Amino acid sequence: MKVCVIGAGPAGLTAAYELAKQGVEVEVYEASGEVGGMSRSFQLWDQTVDLGPHRFFSSDARVNRLWLEVVGDDYAMVDRLTRIYYKQRFFHYPLQPVDALRNLYLGEAAACITSYMRERISPTLEDDHSFESWVVRRFGRRLYETFFKSYSEKLWGISCQDLDADFAAQRIKKLSMAAVIKDALGWGRGGHRTLVDQFAYPLGGTGLVYDRMAEYVSALGRVRLNCPVRRVVNRGQRVIGLELADGTYTKCDHVVSTMPLTLLMKGLEHVPTAVEHAASSLSFRNTLLVYLNIANRDLFPDQWLYVHDPDLLVGRITNFRNWVPQICGSSENSIVSLEYWANDGDAMWNETDDQLIERAKQEFRATGLLGDAKILEGAVVRVPKSYPVYARGYQSHLQVLVDHLREMKGLTPIGRYGAFKYNNQDHSILMGLLAAEQILNEGQQDLWSVNTDYESYQEEATITSSGLVMAEAAS
């Protein structure tokens, strides 16, 4: 058997790694010059940085075993501190009632409580399935406008009324005001699953995981960098190979695709008009990362901040000084990244690096986080098609594609791009594991359900400083 894997990100490399371990001939095709996808690490100003903040956490024993298998002892546990920045004030994330009320001042706090109680008495209807109505119903309109609206609209580039409630269902479905209060009082059953207090982080940056996977696959198969795929070649309902950007054809028995789902559909032959229309109705959002090298070791204590201030375009600020000391080396400086999002046609996406760096400098100064420190230099990384946009009603278009692809033999789309899922690393790793199992006829899981209602872990376990701790033992 020969399997071609499109994309060397977490999902693609996990699938390739698992298949290579079982003796399958694997070739990985990566359009860029690096592996790791959005979870790659790279050297900048004598330090190691990631593409924004990438913490790893999973409760799935299979995912954690694989991660530890690859990383070994080369990791540390990081105490998570992430806060919300809003109008010169900082709020714990997730929200803590006493902290939020104190920072909002008496009048604002009273308005938030009144708004929340109004929702309890007369709840907002969720008939439109929008992110706005979902959050307002659970937190009240005033808290929604303070802590959810601005950031979400920066990220997605659309109104929260046009953003699908699935975004909330995936990321904050178990978070509510009642749950926050119970946890704050010690009455809850533990924090929200994505808001863990501690996470495992590789000593060489998050990309260390995927560098090592790529090394293993290369020793047994092949990882081809700077080798974009033009299209997946199919004969009717059977995939038979790949056509590369240079026109070269590669034959294989199976394709694992992590390329953007919309691009995958464009390349397939004999796609029905309805399917083409559905594919054209889905879109991805681009990321712009501006890195600043700052002559100061102690800017702020958080790993990253969510910027909810509507007066600033930046959405998230990462401070790499606060992860593990190994990635900073001997440097006395701090590297921060300011994260912006844009569509292809937006003016900001087409700005020069100098323009983007100047904006980032101005906005970072405006937060008050810089203090008297000096900004030494800046750099820009552009990540196209990085976020699948959950525009309201997107599921109906996606389902058309899913139904069509279920009939294709020899093709497995996975990952954030390939499955049009807003995945964390653990979701993509799980997709890669399950994809390899399916190809090896060891399992028949529905990969499209990962990161939606997929909660049926075979075993639950958590990574700690001493290794893997099973749920039964922990309890």
In tens, the pLDDT along 328-340 reads 999 999 999 999 9
With CA atoms as reference, report the closest residue to 157 among 263, 52, 287, 280.
287
Rounded mean pLDDT, 149-171: 88
Amino acid at 228: P
Q: How confident is the model at residue 269 (pLDDT cuts 50, 70, 90)?
A: very high
Same domain, 166 and 101: yes
Six token digits for residue 183: 């946890």
* Residue 179: pLDDT band with limits 50, 70, 90: low
Residue 52 lies in a domain: no
pLDDT at 213: 98
- The total of structural domains in the chain comes to 2
Query: Do residues 167 and 102 share a domain?
Result: yes
Per the CB < 8 A criterion, the answer to whether 393 and 407 are in contact is no
The H or E element that residue 103 is part of is helix 97-121
Count Cβ atoms within 10 A of the Cβ of residue 150 and give its class: 0-12 exposed, 13-18 middle, 19 or more buried: buried
On whether the CB atoms of residues 292 and 380 are closer than 8 A, the answer is no
Inside any domain, residue 76:
no
pLDDT at 101 over 70: no
208 & 266 share domain = yes
- pLDDT surpasses 80 at 160: yes
| 395 and 277 in a common domain | yes
Question: For residues 240 and 234, what is the distance between their CA atoms, to the nearest angstrom?
Answer: 6
Stronger pLDDT, 440 or 139, i.e. the higher one: 440
The average confidence (pLDDT) of the chain is 89
Q: Which residue has the higher pLDDT, 376 or 97?
A: 376
Whether residues 131 and 172 fall in one domain: yes
Is residue 314 within 8 Å of 361, Cβ to Cβ? no
State whether 152 and 125 are in the same domain.
Answer: yes
Structural domain harbouring 176: 95-187
pLDDT at 170: 66
- 61 within a domain of the structure (yes/no): no
- Does 211 reside within a domain? yes
* CATH code of the domain covering residue 222: 3.50.50.60
Q: Domain end: 126, 153, 187, which one?
A: 187
Give me the count of residues in the chain: 475
- Measured over the CA atoms of residue 402, residue 405, residue 410 and residue 416, the dihedral's sign is negative
pLDDT of residue 454: 44
Q: Is the peptide bond before 94 cis (omega within 30 degrees of 0)?
A: yes
Q: What is the longest distance spanned by two Cα atoms in the chain? A: 67
Q: What's the whole-number mean pLDDT along residues 159-172? A: 82
Shared domain check, 219 and 136: no
> What sign does the dihedral 92-94-95-99 (CA atoms) show?
negative
Determine the pLDDT at residue 475: 39
Residue pLDDT, tens place only, 387-418: 999 999 999 999 999 999 999 999 999 999 99
* Contact status, residue 31 vs residue 3, Cβ threshold 8 Å: no
Model confidence band, residue 87 (pLDDT cutoffs 50, 70, 90): confident
Per residue in 215-246, pLDDT (tens digit) is 999 999 999 999 999 999 999 999 999 999 99
CB–CB of 356/331 below 8 Å?
A: no
Same domain, 258 and 395: yes
- The answer to whether residue 181 scores a pLDDT higher than 70 is no
Residues 67-86, mean pLDDT to the nearest whole number? 95
Mean pLDDT in residue range 54-60: 90
Residue 114 pLDDT exceeds 90: no
Q: What is the pLDDT of residues 6-53, one digit of tens each?
A: 999 999 999 999 999 999 999 999 999 999 999 999 999 999 999 999
Distance between CA atoms of 82 and 95, rounded to whole angstroms? 11
- Distance, in Å, from the CA atom of 212 to the CA atom of 199, rounded to the nearest integer, reads 20
Task: State the pLDDT confidence band at 276, using cuts at 50, 70 and 90.
Answer: very high
Position 173 in a domain: yes
Helices (H) and strands (E) in the chain, counts: 16, 21
The pTM of this model reads: 0.91
Cα Rg of the chain (Å, integer): 22
My answer on whether 209 and 278 are in the same domain is yes
pLDDT of residue 310: 92
User: Residue 411 and residue 253: Cα distance in Å, rounded?
Assistant: 9
SS3 415: helix
pLDDT given at position 82: 92
Instruction: Give me the DSSP letters along 354-366.
Output: HHHHHHHHHHHHH
Q: Say if residues 206 and 57 touch (Cβ distance below 8 Å).
A: no
Based on the fold, state whether residues 217 and 179 are members of the same structural domain: no
Residue 99 in this model has a pLDDT that exceeds 90: no
Residue 178: which pLDDT band, with cuts at 50, 70 and 90? low
For residue 113, name the pLDDT band (cuts at 50, 70, 90).
confident
Q: What value does the mean pLDDT take over residues 449-471?
A: 70
Same domain, residue pair 216 and 258: yes
Tokens of 254: 């199976």
Q: Please determine, for residue 176, whether its predicted confidence score (pLDDT) is greater than 60.
A: no
At residue 182, the pLDDT reads 53
Report the range of poorest mean pLDDT among 115-119, 156-160, 215-219, 347-351. 115-119
Q: Residue 451: its pLDDT value, please?
A: 59
pLDDT of residue 191 exceeding 70: no
The CA angle 51-280-274, to the nearest 5 degrees, is: 140
Claim to verify: residue 213 and residue 178 sit in the same structural domain: no
Quote the percentage of the chain above a pLDDT of 90: 72
